[in-house]
Chain A
Amino acid sequence: MNTTTLMMMLFNGLVFGSYLVLLSLGLSIIFGMLGVVNFAQGSLYMLGAYAGYTCLLFGLNFWVALLVAPLVVAFIAMLAERFLIRFLYKEADIYVVLLTFGLMLVFEEVIRLIFGDLGRPIGVPDLLSGVVNLGFMYYPKYRLFIIGVTAVCALGTWLFLIRTKLGSIIRAGTDDSEMVDALGIHISRIYTGVFAFGAGLAGLAGILAGPLQEVTPLMGNEILIQIFVVVVIGGLGSIAGSIVAGLLIGEIITLGVLFWPTAAMTSIYVLMAIVLLVRPRGFFGRAGFHE
């Protein structure tokens, strides 16, 4: 195991961690605002990849797909929120979770019926193919691109929530939506917007991941469980938690597979168990928050 391979794997861990960051950021924000654990987050990721693939089928280039896919997924999520999920807010929380679970099943089946079970290829765009000389090693351009886009989105999301007026409304709604509603702000529109935004992040992760792996109807399932581990460790509802834990889990899985293949996958669950025992709210979670 020489240093170049190690560095390469560290960067690969950042790449995989990027998907986890985007997905768990979306999950966290949706939960923070709506109190909903979106079981469909993984399938929204998958939908993003297929939306991108469809764009390419119609002859559009990758850059257009990159823009369109998250928007398409956000739109689908918006429809789901407005016409399905919304009716269950007054009921017990589990019903919304069950609804998102049902959506997950339906999305997967619809995609399978349209596109079949075999994987669909998405190619790396020409501008980003090939490697870049980082000085200490060569690394694929496209993977750096993924890391870059994720960093921009994460930073942008954080700035938006902390610095803008709408962002503070959203954060206020997280704490006490009834109060916000009483202040006359259209909370329901914000709900829809937040849900769509969280979904859009998932869709973005999907189209980013597309060129590097096979696009199949099942691609969202395994990663869903992994982002659950991320938010438990990071703290559901916490932006910082999603980012830090996302990258951490990404590294553990990527490096682990190379060093301790047998233990790699179980180690993240063991870590989750330890966090639950020692600090149940997660590293960055707030005490009393949705507990």
Chain B
Amino acid sequence: MKKTTETGDMKVQKEEKVIGKEKKPSIITRRDFIKTAAITGAVTAVAPHIWIKPAWASDPLKIGVMIDMSKAYAFLNKQDLVGIKLAVEDAGGKALGKPIQVIARDHRLDPGIANEKAKELYEKEKVDVIIDVPQSACSLAVNEQSRRYKRLFISVDSGTTAQTQDKCNYYGFDWGYDNYMLATAGGLWAAEHLGKKWYAITADYAWGHDLLKNFRAAVEKKGGKIIGNDMVALGTSDFSPYMIKAMNSGADVLVLLNAGADTVNSTKAANEFGLKKKMSILHALMFTANIKAAGVNVYEGDYATVSWYWKSQNPGAKSYVERFKKAMKGAPPHWLTAANYSATLQFIKAVQRANSKDPDKIIEQLEGHEFRDMFANPGYIYKENHQAINDALIVKCKSQKEITEPWDYFEIVGKVPAKEAYQTPAQSGCKMKRPA
């Protein structure tokens, strides 16, 4: 057993002399390198001009889907793919005379991988659009590639508002929801119906901060106020001190600006301290899958904002839910799968109306367009920042005795109209660079 910590086991080749003698490297000489540098410079200058761009206009319509297939969001995201495929079916499965192809990629919630896969999808697979891309950093990366390759991108599962604000991109669209809408719809409704004094517990990172800012604005619009806020590091397991502070603050509403494990832990802590007897809880982001995993008792009586619920009465919703349940063996679709469905369907319809794969022509058909499908009835796409807007729904989590069928965890208690829930194009400040 070695007593020292030197990594002294590196016996190198015996030609290596000890200190003092300059030794010429055995493989590469200086001349080789100068030659190499010169050639490199020449090739760099010439290469892009000799590399021929292969023709793509005659290929079938290809829809690229990028989701998490192996990490924390995998369970939710795989359902998005089902929704997208159902949309392709409902659009007739064909566009411009050829069958539509759906190509899926796993970005594993890693923005670097998302960036690479976007390039692969646009360059090698030559997709006409990339749909979905959950997680804000991943979505922003794909947004940039969409701009560079001048191909369409419809962001659905990510909440970042940057895509419709300072990072807005002529080829990019935002569908389904964003952080502004979650905060504003939830804030406006709850400030009116649940109480004017709020306490916030915010996950201490970009998403949480963004939500807090938007909630504050919405609550104050209705004459309310966020009287206290705690920034909590991601992955905190112990929320007890924050619950005590919240309860002592005298607020009516506790808003939990977190997701995943943090939501579970904070809500459990709230239950532990009997917080719900004094205050209502509003969540930033909620899915039926969360309730299934943690248990109905944990979330009973809590509120959240969604864009759609599987019990929707929109025309076509019931059929969608039935077909989805069959494909997923029982579980009904969550609201983002419906948003993906809508984005895909409207994209295909736009292609059919434009009768072309030319991105500019497709965009012309999408922007400023009002549409109706089982997700948004109606929905509208702003021309200035390419945001698709829809009415927001406020839901309340049912108690065990209120649940009459499996997965029926939500009760729709309110609605915030699209134009109020989403930022106006002027507010978003998007200055889109349009092609000449």
Contact = CB atoms under 8 A, between A and B. Distances in A.
A–B contact at 8 Å CB threshold (below): yes
Contacts of B56: none
Contact of A222 (B235, B245, B294): B235
Nearest to A94: B7
Interface string A111-135: 0000011110100000000000000
A119 B264 contact: yes
Contacts, number: 66
A118 B240 contact: no
B1 A258 contact: no
A5 B9 contact: no
Nearest to B294: A121
A91 B9 contact: yes
Given A8-B240, A212-B238, A92 B9 contact: yes
A214 B9 contact: no
A92 B2 contact: yes
Interface residues of A, number: 31
Given A93-B5, A214-B261, A117 B238 contact: no
A214 B5 CA distance: 37
A216 B237 CA distance: 12
A92 B261 contact: no
Contact of A89 (B1, B75, B204, B237): B1
A117 B7 contact: no
Contact of B74 (A34, A92, A117, A177): A117
Q: Is the interface of B mostly helix, strand, loop or mixed?
A: loop
A265 B264 CA distance: 23
A116 B73 CA distance: 11
Interface residues of B, number: 31
Contacts of A91: 9
Interface in B225-259: 231, 233, 235-238, 240-241, 244-245
Interface string B66-82: 00001110110000000
A8 to B, nearest CB: 6
Given A5-B245, A92-B6, A93-B5, A117 B231 contact: no
A290 interface: yes
A12 B240 CA distance: 10
A34 B294 CA distance: 43
A274 interface: no
Contacts of A99: none
A35 B241 contact: no
B9 A258 contact: no
Interface in A169-202: 176-178
Given A35-B2, A119-B264, A261 B204 contact: yes
B8 interface: yes
A121 B237 CA distance: 12
Given A35-B3, A92-B9, A119-B261, A214 B238 contact: no
Nearest to A180: B1
B265 interface: yes
B293 A118 contact: yes
Given A5-B244, A118-B293, A214-B261, A35 B1 contact: yes
Interface of B: 1-3, 5-10, 70-72, 74-75, 204, 231, 233, 235-238, 240-241, 244-245, 260-261, 264-265, 293-294
Given A93-B5, A222-B235, A258-B241, 10 more contacts: A5-B241, A5-B244, A35-B1, A89-B1, A92-B8, A92-B10, A121-B294, A212-B238, A213-B237, A290-B3
17 contacts: A5-B241, A8-B241, A12-B240, A35-B2, A90-B2, A92-B6, A93-B7, A117-B71, A119-B264, A121-B294, A212-B237, A213-B261, A214-B264, A222-B235, A257-B236, A261-B233, A291-B5
